Amino acid sequence: MMMQKIPLKVKDYLSMVKFAHTIFAMPFALLGFFMATIQVGGVLSWRLLLLVLTCMFLARNAAMSFNRWADREIDKRNPRTSMREIPAEIIKPAYALAFCLSNAVLFIVASWFINKLCFYLSPVALIVVLGYSLTKRFTSLSHFILGLGLALAPTGAYLAVCGHFNWLPVILSFAVLCWVTGFDIIYALQDDDFDRDNKLRSVPVALGRAHALSLSLALHVITFCLLVSAGFIGGNKIVYWIGLGIFGILLFYQHTIVKPNDLHRVNLAFFTLNGIASLVYALFAITDILT
């Protein structure tokens, strides 16, 4: 019986932290990593790659479990989220918080084995990714804080290899910030009535659905422009531009399927299209770098 319960528990925790959503930031982290690898001579360090992936995994676990713990009472009241692991009593709040703290500590420890700069910056990264969960209580700009958290991925991975900043991964980070903020605004449309009734802040609550979608589109236009500039600055070749073209098509297609009065395809726009877009762009960009 005990052996049957263990996999279920692991599955519960992976579900709580939405492990599948790693697909958003991880490809950009890998792009930053390989970008830096070329800068230092093109010799791939499997040790560093494993450490970068481990830090990504741990930071995201800490952020998502803290989010679920901090929002447990809100999630319980919201019909859309009432079956999440904590309100559904699948995972106890204390266990979720312990899971968060253990992952945060392990993240800092893992960063020590990368380099001193990453170690010194690791608490700052945690403040950003954990702090996001509290922001919707006092600001409509919470989507931007989420975007900032994921935007750390390409620059952080670059720092892990090179140990210094560079404009190219920073531009990628700004692109990720605008991209994530834009699609999180779309995702938040589902809860605008609930958020308004419960005095929670969001762009859809502040601006209304139509204007929120317009802001999301503007952010995605900026995203595309930043990635175009990254391609020119990086001297990328045809493979990069093909990948960016596909990314752009997927990015803007989501704005044709979500309307202020028709939200039934929000999940398609949020997860499927953006997940595929991230993978395609990073795959083509990394291939371009390595060839």
Tell me how far apart the alpha carbons of residues 263 and 246 are, in angstroms, rounded to a whole number.
24
Query: What is the band of 242 on the pLDDT scale with cuts at 50, 70, 90?
Result: very high
| 124-147 per-position pLDDT tens digit | 999 999 999 999 999 999 999 999
d(CA 258, CA 242): 26
When mean pLDDT is compared across 11-15, 28-32, 49-53, 170-174, the lowest value belongs to: 11-15
Least Cα distance to 156 among 40, 54, 284 occurs for 54
Q: What is the pLDDT at residue 268?
A: 80
Helix residue ranges, H only, 78-202: 93-112, 116-135, 142-162, 167-188, 192-197
* 44/34 Cα distance (integer angstroms): 8
How far apart CA 102 and CA 232 sit, in angstroms, is 42
Q: Which of 72, 84, 108, 109 is nearest to 13 (CA)?
A: 84
Q: Average pLDDT for residues 197-225, to the nearest whole number?
A: 97
Structural domain boundaries of the chain? 23-290
Chain centre to alpha carbon of residue 155: 13
pLDDT band of residue 4 (cuts 50, 70, 90) is very low
DSSP, res 83? T
CATH code assigned to 23-290? 1.10.357.140
The model's pTM is 0.94
pLDDT mean over 178-206: 96
Q: Which residues of 39-73 are buried (b: 16+ CB within 10 A; e: fewer)?
A: eeeeeeeeebbebbbbbbbbbbbbbbbbbbbbbbe
Closest of 192, 222, 187, 227 to residue 206, by C-alpha: 192
Closest Cα to residue 23, out of 254, 249, 276?
A: 276
pLDDT given at position 198: 96
Cα(86)–Cα(93) distance, integer angstroms: 6
- 17 CB neighbour count, 10 Å cutoff: 24
- The terminus-to-terminus CA distance of the chain in angstroms comes to 51
